[in-house]
Amino acid sequence: MDEKLLHHILGWGPPRRPDDNTSVGEAKRWLKDRLEDGTYCPCCDQFAKIYHRQIHASMAVHLIILYKLSGRTGEYIHKSVLMRQAKMSVSSFGGGDFAMLRFWGLIEEQFKDLNKDSRTSGSWKITEKGILFVDQRITVQQKVRIYNGGVLNFYGPMVSIVDCLHNKFSYADLMIGPVIRLAPTQPVLQ
């Protein structure tokens, strides 16, 4: 029986938030029961939540752009180059959504230079799995559950890159269309 429902039926009120007298095991169980909705960890006060993400059309477009920019070279491309290319093509660049492709193993971020103040390197490359996905040789599960920066599990139907593009974009046009290689400091032509 659901703990919240049991507490309501018995008139106990909501389950007590763990305090200093609560064992770590009890605190973990209390937190686990609340991860889908999200709550603050009673031990460290970090917000904890399971996030659900779905691969969608703009993510697929940006993966194709990365594929066309770096191809099979394994070259890392900075997100500023991807953003400018996206503005020149069919879609605006959704930086956060693009980075989610790492959870499917389709892209990989370059290691951050520890001597720089930035949070991340901002440079990405397409993985072998990403190449196979763009080439329509594999499918991936449509949705992922993420907790604490890692994958819990995948779910939903298996989808191809064409499925992800829906009817919003033409796979053939995206693959044939030109990609203009821009240096990171070169302005975008309007």
- One domain, residues 58 and 138: yes
Query: What is the rounded distance in angstroms from the CA atom of residue 119 to the CA atom of residue 95?
Result: 14
Q: What is the DSSP letter of 104?
A: G
Q: Are residues 38 and 96 in the same domain?
A: no
Strands across the sheet with 150-159, in order?
Answer: 50-54, 140-147, 150-159
pLDDT at 69 over 90: no
Tokens standing for residue 176: 């044939």
Question: Which pLDDT value is given to residue 140?
Answer: 98
Residue 9 lies in a domain: yes
Query: Does the pLDDT value for residue 141 go beyond 70?
Result: yes
Q: Are residues 43 and 71 in the same domain?
A: no
What number of CA atoms fall less than 13 Å from residue 103's CA on the CB side?
A: 26
Inform me whether the pLDDT recorded for 189 exceeds 50.
no
Percentage, residues of the chain above pLDDT 90: 37
Residue 16 or 164, more confident: 164
Of the spans 36-50, 67-81, 117-131, 141-155, which averages the highest pLDDT?
141-155
pLDDT at position 183 over 60: no
User: What sign for the dihedral angle of Cα 128, 130, 135, 139?
Assistant: positive
Report yes or no on 184 lying in a domain.
no
Domain limits at 104? 53-176
Q: Are 95 and 132 found together in one domain?
A: yes
**pLDDT bracket for residue 178 (50, 70, 90):** low
The answer to whether residues 43 and 81 belong to one domain is no
Angle ∠(66,67,72) on CA atoms, nearest 5: 125
Question: Is 151 domain-assigned?
Answer: yes
Number of domains within the chain: 2
The pTM of this model reads 0.76
Q: Compute CA distances 48 → 51, 52, 128, whole Å.
A: 10, 13, 32
Separation of CA 144 from chain center: 9
Q: Bigger pLDDT: 12 or 98?
A: 98
Quick one: CA torsion of 39, 41, 47, 52, rounded to 10 degrees? -60
